[in-house]
Structure 1
Amino acid sequence: MPLAEIPLCVWRTRSQSFSFRGQSIRYWTAGQGEPLLLLHGFPTASWDWHYLWGPLAQRFRVVACDMLGFGDSAKPVDHHYSLIEQADLQQALLAHLQIDEPVHLLAHDYGGSVAQELLARHHEQRAELASCVFLNSALFPERCPLLLVQKLLLSPLGWLVGRSFGRDDLVRTVSQIYGPCTHPSESALDDSWSLIAANRGTRILHKLISYVPERRSHRDRWVGAMQREGVPLRFINGAVDPLSGAHMLETYRQQVPDADTVLLQGIGHYPHIEAPVQVLRHYLTFREQPLSYIPQKVAWS
Structure 2
Amino acid sequence: MALAEIPLCIWRKRGQTFEFRGQAIRYWTAGQGEPLLLIHGFPSASWDWHYLWQPLTQRYRVIACDMLGFGDSAKPVSHAYSLLEQADLQQALLEHLDVGQPVHLLAHDYGDSVAQELLARHYESQINIASCVFLNGGLFPETHRPVLMQKLLLSPLGWMIGRAFSRDGLVKSFRQIFGPHTRPSESEMDDFWSLIENNHGPRIMHKLITYIPERRTRRERWVGAMQRGEVPLRVIDGEVDPISGAHMVARYRELIPEPDTVLLSDIGHYPQIEAPCQVLKHYLAFRDRLMLPPLKVACS
Tell me the residue number matched to 1:297.
Answer: none
In the TM superposition, residue 290 of structure 1 has moved relative to its aligned partner by: 3.2
Tell me the residue number matched to 1:276.
Answer: 276
Taking the aligned partners of 1:76 and 1:54, their CA distance within structure 2 comes to: 31
Taking the aligned partners of 1:247 and 1:115, their CA distance within structure 2 comes to: 20
Q: How does 1:162-177 map to 2 (within 5 A)?
A: 162-177=162-177
Deviations 1:91-111 (A, max 9, x none): 000000000111000000000
Deviations 1:161-206 (A, max 9, x none): 0000000000000000000000000000000000000000001000
Taking the aligned partners of 2:229 and 2:189, their CA distance within structure 1 comes to: 40
Tell me the residue number matched to 2:198.
Answer: 198
Taking the aligned partners of 1:141 and 1:284, their CA distance within structure 2 comes to: 28
Structure 2 residue 202 is matched with structure 1 residue 188: no
In the TM superposition, residue 292 of structure 1 has moved relative to its aligned partner by: 7.1
Taking the aligned partners of 1:68 and 1:123, their CA distance within structure 2 comes to: 25
Tell me the residue number matched to 2:76.
Answer: 76
Q: How does 1:30-179 map to 2 (within 5 A)?
A: 30-179=30-179
Secondary structure, aligned partner of 2:101: coil
In the TM superposition, residue 230 of structure 1 has moved relative to its aligned partner by: 1.5
Deviations 1:120-142 (A, max 9, x none): 00011111100000000110011
The size of the alignment, in residue pairs, is 294
Q: How does 1:214-253 map to 2 (within 5 A)?
A: 214-253=214-253
TM-score (norm 2): 0.97
Tell me the residue number matched to 1:298.
Answer: none
In the TM superposition, residue 229 of structure 1 has moved relative to its aligned partner by: 2.2
In the TM superposition, residue 145 of structure 1 has moved relative to its aligned partner by: 1.2
Secondary structure, aligned partner of 2:170: helix
Tell me the residue number matched to 1:208.
Answer: 208
Secondary structure, aligned partner of 1:49: helix
Taking the aligned partners of 1:275 and 1:62, their CA distance within structure 2 comes to: 20
In the TM superposition, residue 112 of structure 1 has moved relative to its aligned partner by: 0.3
Structure 1, gaps ≥5 residues long: 295-301
Deviations 1:232-281 (A, max 9, x none): 00000000000000000010011000000000000000000000000000
RMSD of aligned alpha carbons: 1.0
Taking the aligned partners of 2:77 and 2:54, their CA distance within structure 1 comes to: 34
Tell me the residue number matched to 1:7.
Answer: 7
Secondary structure, aligned partner of 2:169: helix
Tell me the residue number matched to 1:299.
Answer: none
Taking the aligned partners of 1:40 and 1:94, their CA distance within structure 2 comes to: 16
Taking the aligned partners of 1:293 and 1:247, their CA distance within structure 2 comes to: 34
% of aligned pairs identical?
A: 70
- Could you list the structure 1 runs, at least 4 aligned residues long, displaced by more than 4 angstroms after superposition: 291-294
Tell me the residue number matched to 2:298.
Answer: none
Taking the aligned partners of 1:85 and 1:263, their CA distance within structure 2 comes to: 31
